Amino acid sequence: MDRHTGNLFILSAPSGAGKSSLYKALLKADDKVRISISHTTRAPRKGEEHGREYYFTEDEDFLDMIAEDAFFEHAQVFDNYYGTSKASIFNMLEQGLDVILEIDWQGARQVRKLYPDAIGVFILPPSLKALEERLHGRGTDSEEVIQRRMSKAVAEMSHYDEYDFVIVNDDFETALTQMQSIFTAMRSKNTVMKQKYGNLINDLLSI
């Protein structure tokens, strides 16, 4: 088999729409998918672990990484820095794994410029009321933080049109099936198949 490069997916949504729940369920069901672990200067939430959800990083170290050009993309979101390191994605793509970047619309724009084949998926909540209920139900943020996230939600959602696919996460299982279908379909893209089955295609065409 020819050398195969995996697909790079961008997953964005307002806080609380369910992107972490969806990607975690997808990772469980599909061993060809990996999540890129971002660096962030925000404090860990209860239950979060350094190196699992994020690399929790001091401001000073984050700024050093920017200066060293270690980031593929980075952005300021909710008064904190967030970024995807180059090291965290290219290795996995080269192994033929699909990689998910769970990033905001600003990061998504940077990634599209650097990597035009990246596939964008935007998750919408079924309503603003449901979004607020989910943020409360998650039980990880104070009322003040929830209200800040709600006030940013509309701004984040206004960028949905910059993405290739949109999923409304109303019924979780339905949304998960849609995500899985997108990942499966993208593996049959012509460009991907040419890389993966180049020798076979040449044989069939007797080139």
Ligand X SMILES: Nc1nc2c(ncn2[C@@H]2O[C@H](COP(=O)(O)OP(=O)(O)O)[C@@H](O)[C@H]2O)c(=O)[nH]1
Ligand Y SMILES: Nc1ncnc2c1ncn2[C@@H]1O[C@H](COP(=O)(O)OP(=O)(O)O)[C@@H](O)[C@H]1O
42 makes contact, choosing from ligand X, ligand Y, none, with CB < 5 to 8 Å by partner type, with ligand X
**Residue numbers at the binding site for ligand Y (CB under 6 A):** 13, 15-21, 134, 137-138, 169, 172, 175
- CB closer to ligand Y out of 19 and 196: 19
Question: Any binding-site annotation on 14?
Answer: yes
38 makes contact, choosing from ligand Y, ligand X, none, with CB < 5 to 8 Å by partner type, with ligand X
Closest approach, Cβ 187 to ligand X, in A, equals 24
Backbone angles phi, psi at 113, to 5 degrees: -65, -40
Question: Any binding-site annotation on 18?
Answer: yes
44 makes contact, choosing from ligand X, ligand Y, none, with CB < 5 to 8 Å by partner type, with none
Closest approach, Cβ 207 to ligand Y, in A, equals 46
- CB closer to ligand Y out of 152 and 187: 152
Give kind and range of the element (H or E) at residue 98.
strand 98-102
**Residue numbers at the binding site for ligand X (CB under 6 A):** 12, 15-16, 20, 38, 42, 73, 75, 77-78, 82-84, 102-104, 106-107
Length of the chain, in residues: 207
- CB closer to ligand X out of 17 and 176: 17
Q: What is the spatial distance between Cα 108 and Cα 97, in angstroms, rounded to a whole number?
A: 20
125 makes contact, choosing from ligand Y, ligand X, none, with CB < 5 to 8 Å by partner type, with none
Q: What is the spatial distance between Cα 162 and Cα 116, in angstroms, rounded to a whole number?
A: 12
> 121 forms bridges with which residues in the sheet?
11, 165
Q: What is the spatial distance between Cα 13 and Cα 52, in angstroms, rounded to a whole number?
A: 20
Q: What is the spatial distance between Cα 101 and Cα 84, in angstroms, rounded to a whole number?
A: 8
Q: What is the spatial distance between Cα 23 and Cα 89, in angstroms, rounded to a whole number?
A: 16
Query: Nearest Cα to 21, choosing from 11, 31, 8?
Result: 11
Q: Binding site for ATP: which residues?
A: 13-20
